[in-house]
Amino acid sequence: MPCALTWRLRLPEFSFDEATTEGKYIQFFEQAFEWEQMTYLFYPYYWARKKEWVNILQRDENDPLFMKFMQAGAARVQVPVRNEYVKAVLHYLNTGGEIWNGEDVPMPDDPMYVSIVEEIMEADGYFEGGEVEGEP
């Protein structure tokens, strides 16, 4: 029988099955999209509900970009899909959330496999075939 302290605190428990399932989704979204190429556009306050206009316009933040976000009535976000993942993302959208084309996580010999080395290089700004402009 659990102790009274555990019942009061409701301590979280780790589920390996849940972590494995969620990990597959995390890997899919991390690798299917070119997050470093994400763009966004903030729309004016009047795209929000009218009753929120005053609250939106009265916001004040120290970070100018965060303030633009908080004062926006809406935002458009575009994240490119890697070429190898176009069909898999379309499959995800058409099936209501089935990842990896309904198959298991890709293995290293699969064209959809993205190595951690590749992800680190992209995060560091290395893009194959690109040309350096200006001085570093």
The domains of the chain are located at 21-37+86-123, 39-78
| Average pLDDT value for residue range 9-36 | 89
Other Cβ atoms within 10 Å of 31 Cβ, number:
21
Q: What is the pLDDT of residues 74-127, one digit of tens each?
A: 999 999 999 989 999 999 998 888 898 777 777 778 777 777 777 777 777 766
